[in-house]
């Protein structure tokens, strides 16, 4: 299967390249009139690529021990950089996590935690700081929550959201084409490219060329969505075969997306004499009935907040091919890139992950639960190498998990296992966040926006 997938990927990439002469590239609009104010040596500055993948559980990748090679392009990228084995998403759904990745703020700090909120224009984003340093900034996205409506286009010279096509559609090919066409128009300045891939998000659509979902006797069809999961519950429940099949289709979605990530990274427009730093991560994970639920949102358990994180390319040579096992937060991505560029004139929080991969262990990572429409109990978690503590303030309850003996967080030990370390974590969690919440801007939620959210599978 690995060889077949590799051949398919190569064939796809070659066919795509051959079609390029017939498809003239899009031209960038006139760049924003931003005079560089952050001094860096642009001649030596690397191109920066940020790839975020929607709904990608870390434990469905071979680099995290999965039994299938669902993502050979991601596995290859891991050999070219450092893999963070315990990366924690700050939220269990797209909008708050993306706002955190771009701002370095946790959800309760940037306050972008619902469909009616957008990232405040007063917040400096990664793209804005890079733009001030002289980078050409390009964003190509495929999720409504990654769009201008939610403040995610701040600081981008070129921003395309034409591939927000709904959860039943396939967006990776068009997304990749637009990204490479945009990069091809950049001249001498280094570029920052953000691409947000959506296809692993439900609904899950078969890609039978990978064969991961073959041979199951299941009540689900070729597309697995909210609707047919609800029908299955109403018809007597979801079976083990249903769950295995759903995971197989999800794995095919990952493999399909991975092909296009490979095509992106190998495309001629992204090859340059400059160095290149690639950051690859995901916004959140997914449930497959581990806690009686499908899909994602609300909770801060490992299935939803353990995500991949790779930083590869033009980084310290001793980090190439290495792994980091202690918890890290995706909120540290901006500070890490600032450290790589030697930019100190910024206010990003978090750790420089490329400078703290040795003996020193960064601060614990946090995650915060929320729901698109504000339902349910909000909760928050602190993650250390040994422990995970979850607090549900509205119910005044805590859950404590021994991560070394119980990595899937099945047994709450809070009432029986209390140590000085866990009490210290409890105080840190109670006091989190230390910073007051910002006032978020208001996102448009007119009838058309709500229709588009519903098309993506988000129903109020």
Domain boundaries, the chain: 2-23+46-364
- Tell me the angle at which helices 333-341 and 94-103 cross, rounded to the nearest 10 degrees: 30
Radius of gyration from C-alpha coordinates of the chain: 21
- DSSP state for residue 99 in the 8-state scheme: H
For residue range 91-145, list pLDDT tens digits in order: 999 999 999 999 999 999 999 988 888 999 999 999 999 999 999 999 999 998 9
Distance CA 245, CA 94 (A): 25
CA max distance for the chain: 67
pLDDT at 175: 96
Going by C-alpha positions, the residue among 458, 301, 370 that lies closest to residue 114 is: 370
Given pLDDT bands bounded at 50, 70 and 90, which one contains residue 273? confident
Q: Domain 2-23+46-364 class?
A: alpha beta
Given pLDDT bands bounded at 50, 70 and 90, which one contains residue 26? very low
* 276 CB-near residues (< 8 Å, 6+ apart): 46, 47, 48, 49, 270, 313, 314
306: helix, strand or coil: strand
Tokens representing residue 341 in the block: 């560029």
Tokens representing residue 68 in the block: 């299938």
Burial (0-12, 13-18, 19+ Cβ within 10 Å), 28: middle
For residue range 389-425, list pLDDT tens digits in order: 999 987 789 999 999 999 999 999 999 878 889 999 9
């Amino acid at each position: 299967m690995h060889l077949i997938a590799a051949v398919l990927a190569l064939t796809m990439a070659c066919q795509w390249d051959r079609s390029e002469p017939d498809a003239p590239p899009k031209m960038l609009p006139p760049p924003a009139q931003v005079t560089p104010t952050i001094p860096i040596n642009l001649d030596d500055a690397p191109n920066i690529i940020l790839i975020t993948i929607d709904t990608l559980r870390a434990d469905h990748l071979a680099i995290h021990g999965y039994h299938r090679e669902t993502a050979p392009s991601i596995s290859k990228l891991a050999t070219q950089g450092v893999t963070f084995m315990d990366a924690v998403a700050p939220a269990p759904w797209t909008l708050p996590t993306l706002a955190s990745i771009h701002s370095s703020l946790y959800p309760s700090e940037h306050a972008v935690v619902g469909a009616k909120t957008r990232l405040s224009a007063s917040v400096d984003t990664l793209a804005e700081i890079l733009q001030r340093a002289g980078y050409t900034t390009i964003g190509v996205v495929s999720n409504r929550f990654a769009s201008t409506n939610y403040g995610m286009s701040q600081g981008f010279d070129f921003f395309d959201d034409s591939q927000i096509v709904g959860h039943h559609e396939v967006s990776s090919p068009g997304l990749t084409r637009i990204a490479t066409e945009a990069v091809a128009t950049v001249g001498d300045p280094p570029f920052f490219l953000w691409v947000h891939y959506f296809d692993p998000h439900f609904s899950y659509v078969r890609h039978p060329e990978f064969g991961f979902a073959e041979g199951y006797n299941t009540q689900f069809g070729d597309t697995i969505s909210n609707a047919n999961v609800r029908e299955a519950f109403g018809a007597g429940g979801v079976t083990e075969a249903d769950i295995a099949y759903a995971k197989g289709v999800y794995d095919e979605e990952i493999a399909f997306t991975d092909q296009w990530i490979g095509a992106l990274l190998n495309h001629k427009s992204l090859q340059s004499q400059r160095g290149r730093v690639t950051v690859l991560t995901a916004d959140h994970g997914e449930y497959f009935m581990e806690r009686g639920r499908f899909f994602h949102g609300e909770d801060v358990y490992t299935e939803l907040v353990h995500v991949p994180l790779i930083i590869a390319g033009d980084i310290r040579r001793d980090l190439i091919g290495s792994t980091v096992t202690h918890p890290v937060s995706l909120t540290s991505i901006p500070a890490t890139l600032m450290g790589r560029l030697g930019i100190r004139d910024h206010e990003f929080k978090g750790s420089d992950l490329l400078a703290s991969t040795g003996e020193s262990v960064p601060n614990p990572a946090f995650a915060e639960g929320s729901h698109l429409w504000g339902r349910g109990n909000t909760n928050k978690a602190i993650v250390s190498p040994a422990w995970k503590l979850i607090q549900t303030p509205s119910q005044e309850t805590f859950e404590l998990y021994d991560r070394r003996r119980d990595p899937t967080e099945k047994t709450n030990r809070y009432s029986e296992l209390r140590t000085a370390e866990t009490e210290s974590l409890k105080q840190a969690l109670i006091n989190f966040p230390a910073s007051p919440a910002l006032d978020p801007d208001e996102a448009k939620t007119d009838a058309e926006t709500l229709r588009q959210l519903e098309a993506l599978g988000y129903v109020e």
